[in-house]
Structure 1
Amino acid sequence: MFFCPESVRTRNDVFYLQPERSCVPDSPVWYSTQPLSRAALAKMLHRVKMVKEINIALLTS
């Protein structure tokens, strides 16, 4: 099952999409047609990196 709008499924220039703010778990569409901005993607990746670093610190101490 796809959770993005039909109009973006065949596009090759968009990979990460903005989540729909009004999404509910039963909704067939979870993402908008808008791509994530570079800043939002960088912020998300930074958070993932920080969680990994914290987990490594906890496991090695």
Structure 2
Amino acid sequence: MPKKRKSISIEPMEKHENPTSQAGALNRAKRFIKTASEHPTLSTGEIKYTIKETIRILAP
């Protein structure tokens, strides 16, 4: 049975961040990347994929 991964918690938005602005999304992405890079079981491929998906959402 595959080992269940510990999911990454994405830190909550800062109070002043606008959830729909690209700058706010970029800051969240930066925080996510920092959190993900310190995560013990995530591979760089998974991190890169998540970043690509984030960029795809940010830049329609």
Q: Same fold (TM over 0.5)?
A: no
Greater gyration radius:
1
Please state which band the TM-score falls in when normalised by the shorter chain.
0.3 to 0.5
Which structure shows the higher helix fraction?
A: 2
Q: TM-score, normalised by structure 2?
A: 0.33
Q: TM-score, normalised by structure 1?
A: 0.33
Which structure shows the higher strand fraction?
A: 1
